[in-house]
Amino acid sequence: MTLDDLIADGAAPIVAILRGIREDEIEDVAAALVEAGISIIEVPLNSPRPLASIRRLVDRFGESALCGAGTVTSVADVREVASAGGRLIVTPNTDQRVISEALSLGLEVIPGCQTPTEAFTAIAAGARRIKLFPAGTLGPNHLRALRDVLPDGTGIWAVGGTDRNSLRDWLSSGAEGIGVGSALYRKGDGRQDVGPRAADLVAAWKELKAGEGTE
């Protein structure tokens, strides 16, 4: 399953960022996300025993969700995530070695960028999508300006300070999708906390899509 497949099938363009989650929590929280309609799930590597969580995530949801890691900063990290079964690599920075390694292993990679220089560096390394980070600090106008100069077909994902309320602004500014962290999951949250937030976020996206269809 690839990100292209998910988007083509009409999946919500939302990455759930589960920073701080424990391996004994991952399955219940991921079940709530998938049931709500979020099928892209990231476990940041600065979480407790992240590779164990990714293994559980892949074993349970690998056929229905794109699962992987965030805060990936080295080639060794990429290899470990791949060994755990993860298919998604998200980075906080632009590192051509990390991008190249992920692509060589057949993984999806979304490297973090702020500037045109970083974005073009990532694209030169083979990235087809980039992560605008921290998006909340940079703002939608920054995304619009960046999109104007990037090659057609480059997907930009806004991450950092994104939530239900900013979803419209990001998508209307040209984002392919958003990554949502603390507005969706906070350390210690359970299924009962995450499920309603995920459902509300997906409902907001569906409202936007429905509105596009009537314009």
Cα radius of gyration rounded to whole Å, the chain: 16
For residue 42, give the H/E element and its range. strand 40-44
**Residue at 24 is within a domain:** yes
- CA separation for the pair 99, 119 (Å, rounded): 12
- CA separation for the pair 73, 189 (Å, rounded): 26
Instruction: Return per-residue pLDDT of the chain as tens, 215 residues.
Output: 799 999 999 999 999 999 999 999 999 999 999 999 999 999 999 999 999 999 999 999 999 999 999 999 999 999 999 999 999 999 999 999 999 999 999 999 999 999 999 999 999 999 999 999 999 999 999 999 999 999 999 999 999 999 999 999 999 999 999 999 999 999 999 999 999 999 999 999 999 999 875 44
In the residue annotation, 131 being an active-site residue is answered as yes
Which tokens go with 117?
Answer: 């220089």
Contact assessment for residue 162 and residue 180, using Cβ atoms and an 8 Å cutoff: yes
Domain count, the chain: 1
Which one from 42, 101, 108, 176 is the annotated catalytic residue? 42
In CATH, what number is assigned to the domain containing residue 108? 3.20.20.70
Give exposure, 34-62, as e/b (b: 16+ Cβ within 10 Å).
bebbbbbbbbbbebeebbbbbbbbbebbb
Q: Which backbone phi and psi does 141 adopt, to 5 degrees?
A: -65, -35
Residue 32's pLDDT is 98
Residue 213's pLDDT is 54
Q: Tell me if the pTM is above 0.75.
A: yes
- Structural domain harbouring 154: 3-210
In the residue annotation, 42 being an active-site residue is answered as yes
- C-alpha distances (whole Å) from 57 to each of 25, 181, 202 are 10, 17, 21
Residue 208's pLDDT is 94
What distance lies between CA 199 and its chain's CA centroid? 17
Question: Which residues, other chains included, contact 32 with Cβ-Cβ below 8 Å and sequence gap of 6+?
Answer: 191, 194, 195, 198
Which one from 101, 108, 131, 176 is the annotated catalytic residue? 131
Q: Where are the beta strands (DSSP E) in 83-215?
A: 88-90, 108-110, 112-113, 129-132, 155-159, 177-180
- C-alpha distances (whole Å) from 71 to each of 93, 170, 190 are 9, 22, 22
**Residue at 71 is within a domain:** yes
- CA separation for the pair 80, 107 (Å, rounded): 12
Residue 215's pLDDT is 45
3-state secondary structure of 30: helix
Kind of pairing between the strands at 177-180 and 14-17 = parallel
**Residue at 215 is within a domain:** no
